[in-house]
Amino acid sequence: MLRAIAAIVKKDLKQAKRDPKFLGPSLIIPFVFLLVYTIMWTSVGGGESFACGLVVEDISPEANDMTNILENMVSTTNHTWFSIERYDLETADELYRNGELIAYIVIPEGFGANISSGQNATAVMYINNVNDDIVKNYIHRFEAAVLLFNQGAVHPDFDQSNAPIAMDESFSLAATPSNLKYMAAVAIILSLMACSLASQAMLTATEFETGALQDTLNSPASRLALVLGRTIAAIPRSLSALLISAPIICITMNVFPVGNLLILFGILLLTILALVPIGELIGMKIRNREQSLLASVLIVITGFIVGGGMAPIGLSPFSVRMIMLILPTTHSLALWSRVFFLDTILGLTTSMLYLLGTWIVMSALVIHQMKKEVEHS
Amino acid sequence: MNFSFRVVKASFIKELRVWRRSPQKIVLVILIPFMFFAGFSILMGGVYFGSGVETAVVLNEQNPGVYTEGLLEILGEDDFVPPRLDPILMDAETANRLFQNGEILLVITIPDGFETAVTNNESVSIHVQVANIHEDLTKNLRMPVIRKLDIFYQTYFLNDSLVDFEMVDLRPFTPPRLAYMAWTISVYSAMFGAVFAAGSAMTQEFEQETMEELVLSNQSPYAIYIGKMFSGVVMSFAGIPFLFLVSYIVFGVWPNGDILTFFSLVFLLALFCSGIGIIAGAVFRNSVFVVPVAALAGVFYWIVGGGIAPLSLVGETFGIFNEYLPVSNVYRSLIRMFVEGSYTSLLVDLSVIGLFAVVFLVISPIITDRLTKVDFGRKLEDLRKRRAR
């Protein structure tokens, strides 16, 4: 059996060397995603600066404090939350009504006088309520500024020590990864996922097209040896994609793993094991190289988006999260993003076991499919 | 080989027959935009729907009174600004273990002595632990807590909270974000459908080796290609009704505006994209490669055209750059129409996309005809041989 496995590994690796086209999806998909994501987050804001106009009609120290808070309060990545541009009322309103300014804040005349006399002072935000997400993001930021003022936490220290109730925050990571850094980190495992799934699907479909697989299946080698050999060969083949994508992504995006490299390697290995038999099944069912490529690319992209590749799934409702967790890609992404940014071994067991289980179940299905194929032929 | 409308019509009808015979391709035209919409809805829907963010609340206060109860009540209250919080009372040890394992992302600890401090007007801190996995998630976890605290201030500390705020909306109705995305994905659907359908109409000639027959048929190839372009235009509308219908069923809103403007803009966009589609088909010669090209180019334009959020968020520089991308004009006018029901830039945008559509109607068949005569395989082989020497 060992000799058979070794022969299959050798044959598959030779084939991969002869036809390196299998690297295509694993290089194209993550870079396209990175490009799209970079455009998305650098252009439409996200967690960072939101364009907002500011009209200050009051010259009191209180109005000045409020203005300074609005202009300087920062998010967890030290980006200012509002990208404030000052205007006079007429210009701001004109830009706003023409759709060139999504929102502007007015600190009205008498703002400071009201506060000094113990009365309420109201700052007003005019917002183009294009959708509820825009409104949510602007309300949240504006409300944070109002709270800081009421807590007496003004620029430059934003010191809450005299506030009736202060908010003392702590975070799970030493520094919050920006959306782009998160995407860069998961793009590495996306490259591996695309390679594992697409290359195996293409290889199997090609062997069907040439009739080589039927010959192999009818040979005296056991089906278990075939599956094991093909899976072992897929490990270096899938990792080879990372030799190109990982250094490029890490250097260009300036993102490097914080967690233990051995654990990260283990996660990569489990991901390959879980996805290779799925690729094998795709190839065996479709039996056409190009259509297998298309199907595996679509599955990888869907698994990546739904599995939390573009944003962690933590905010999804419980029932939806349960559906997402059926996909092995969800577990791979969860493990990878956790260990990439945090040196921990906590909270990894369930997902690791799930990936291992997926490998065993899917391999059994492949063996069953092979048996059916032999019987059919 | 005179240009004849009869040939255009024949080519158009033949392509529609081919589409009728291959329902799996129609399913692909409908399914890809739909999957795209479903993926984003699942990804972003959690903020708006469901029971809210599971939040561990550790109550260390031994003698909770009106302020502690008030804070707990405010934390669990429904909120029109998403995401809402779903507080779950637990002891510190459990909360910490779940937080360390990544099973819970937000922990709020109300300290012992909270009630006394607030009653006696002394300063006190609540402790908030946030899983800062990435910036956007961190923002969505922290901001509801800040908002709840502000509501607590405005309710219980009337003497301290002298500043409040007021929001004035531009229009009476705020569309749900996911419905907004469904509407903009309908434009994506038209783009993708047109490029894929027209591209596929070309690639099938290469795949079935019927290109030679077309060339030898003594009919104008331009007329044949224009027929294929128009079949792409028809197919580009296949996914749109489904998207509008699903968005209506789920969110209960139709977009503003009139159907004639929508059809005019989308028709011209689809014609322009069909022109690109037949060129892509002549280059790739394999429908499998046309799908990712069409899907990714469409996603790119969907984002830069304002599909996720309006371009006014972006700032002036990007807005000016975007003016020169013809597809963005369609997005701009349609977004304004869908959301505001206004047509302020319609004339300009209709002219720009109309110009591009006419230009591509003329040049695409010519470029495609030239490209079909090029043997890319041989050229590559020659290039390899030259490099080897």
pLDDT at B173: 84
Give one DSSP letter per residue of B198-243, joined into a string.
Answer: HHHHHHHHHHTT-HHHHHHTTS-HHHHHHHHHHHHHHHHTSSHHHH
Assess whether pLDDT exceeds 70 at residue B324: no
Q: Residue type at B236?
A: S
Same domain, B240 and B293: yes
End-to-end CA distance of chain A: 24
- Among residues B128, B156, B184, the one where a domain terminates is B156
pLDDT at B42: 73
Across residues B251-262, what is the average pLDDT?
A: 90
pLDDT at A216: 84
- Among residues B156, B188, B205, the one where a domain terminates is B156
CB A311, CB A37: distance < 8 Å: no
Same domain, B224 and B133: no
In a domain, B168, yes or no: no
The CA distance from B273 to B237, in Å, is 13
Same domain, B321 and B200: yes
Residue for token digits 């949240």?
A: A140
Element (H, E) at A331: helix A328-341
pLDDT at B229: 95
- With an 8 Å Cβ cutoff, is B317 touching chain A? no
Name the stretches of chain A with pLDDT < 70. Answer: 40, 42-48
**What does DSSP say about strands A121-127 and B163-169: parallel, antiparallel, or unpaired?**
parallel
In a domain, B69, yes or no: yes
Mutate to test the interface with A, among B60, B165, B293 (most CBs of A within 10 A): B165
- With an 8 Å Cβ cutoff, is B21 touching chain A? no
Number of separate domains in chain B = 2
Beta bridge partners, A167, equal B126
Assess whether pLDDT exceeds 90 at residue B264: yes
CB contact under 8 Å between B177 and A312, yes or no, is no
Of A76, A123, A129, the CB nearest to B171: A129
Same domain, B311 and B370: yes
Assess whether pLDDT exceeds 70 at residue B89: yes
CB contact under 8 Å between A150 and B160, yes or no, is yes
CB contact under 8 Å between A132 and B166, yes or no, is no
Same domain, B54 and B32: no
Confidence tier at B310 by pLDDT (50, 70, 90): low
Calculate helix-pair angle for B135-156, A179-210, nearest 10 degrees.
140
B-chain CB neighbours of A134 within 8 Å are 177, 309-310, 313
Confidence tier at B109 by pLDDT (50, 70, 90): very high
Confidence tier at B280 by pLDDT (50, 70, 90): very high
In a domain, B163, yes or no: no
Same domain, B147 and B252: no
How many CB atoms lie under 10 A from the CB of residue B158? 10
A-chain CB neighbours of B315 within 8 Å are 51, 83
Same domain, B338 and B354: yes
- With an 8 Å Cβ cutoff, is B288 touching chain A? yes
Q: Quick check: helix, strand or coil at residue B7?
A: helix
The CA distance from A257 to A247, in Å, is 11
In a domain, B161, yes or no: no
A-chain CB neighbours of B153 within 8 Å are 147, 150-151, 164-165
* CATH architecture, range A49-151: 3-Layer(aba) Sandwich (3.40)
User: CA-based Rg of chain B, rounded to a whole angstrom?
Assistant: 29
Domain boundaries, chain A: 2-41+178-376, 49-151
- With an 8 Å Cβ cutoff, is B7 touching chain A? no
Mutate to test the interface with B, among A73, A122, A133 (most CBs of B within 10 A): A133
- Among residues B125, B156, B187, the one where a domain terminates is B156
Assess whether pLDDT exceeds 90 at residue B321: no
pLDDT at A349: 94
Q: ipTM score of the complex?
A: 0.89
pLDDT at A24: 82
In a domain, B246, yes or no: yes
Across residues B350-376, what is the average pLDDT?
A: 91
Same domain, B185 and B313: yes
CB B138, CB A175: distance < 8 Å: no
Which has the minimum average pLDDT: A115-124, A311-320, B30-39, B238-247? Answer: A311-320
Across residues B296-305, what is the average pLDDT?
A: 81
How many CB atoms lie under 10 A from the CB of residue B388? 6
Same domain, B297 and B212: yes
Give this prediction's pTM. 0.84
Residue for token digits 């970079």?
A: A38
Q: Quick check: helix, strand or coil at residue B345?
A: coil
A-chain CB neighbours of B286 within 8 Å are 290
Assess whether pLDDT exceeds 90 at residue B136: no
pLDDT at B376: 76
CB A232, CB A314: distance < 8 Å: no
Assess whether pLDDT exceeds 90 at residue B110: yes
In a domain, B162, yes or no: no
Assess whether pLDDT exceeds 70 at residue B267: yes
In a domain, B324, yes or no: yes
Per-residue pLDDT of B120-133, as tens digits, reads 999 999 999 999 98
Same domain, B228 and B306: yes
Assess whether pLDDT exceeds 60 at residue B362: yes
* Distances from the Cα of A219 to the Cα of A8, A214, A237, A341, A348, angstroms: 12, 9, 24, 47, 41
A-chain CB neighbours of B206 within 8 Å are none
CB contact under 8 Å between A316 and B42, yes or no, is yes
Provide the chain B residues 79-108 that lie in CB contact (below 8 A) with chain A.
81-83, 99-103, 105
Q: Which two tokens stand for residue B336?
A: 């304004």
Mutate to test the interface with B, among A75, A98, A130, A302 (most CBs of B within 10 A): A130
pLDDT at A319: 80
Nearest CA among A202, A196, A340 for reference residue A274: A196
Of B124, B143, B316, the CB nearest to A165: B124
Count how many pairs of residues, chain A against chain B, have C-beta atoms within 8 Å.
328
Domain extent at residue B179 = 5-43+175-388
Q: In what order do the strands lie in the sheet with B163-169?
A: A82-86, A50-56, A103-107, A121-127, B163-169
Q: What is the CATH number of the domain that holds B125?
A: 3.40.190
B-chain CB neighbours of A149 within 8 Å are 163
The CA distance from A329 to A314, in Å, is 15
In a domain, B21, yes or no: yes
Across residues B280-301, what is the average pLDDT?
A: 83
Across residues B322-326, what is the average pLDDT?
A: 66
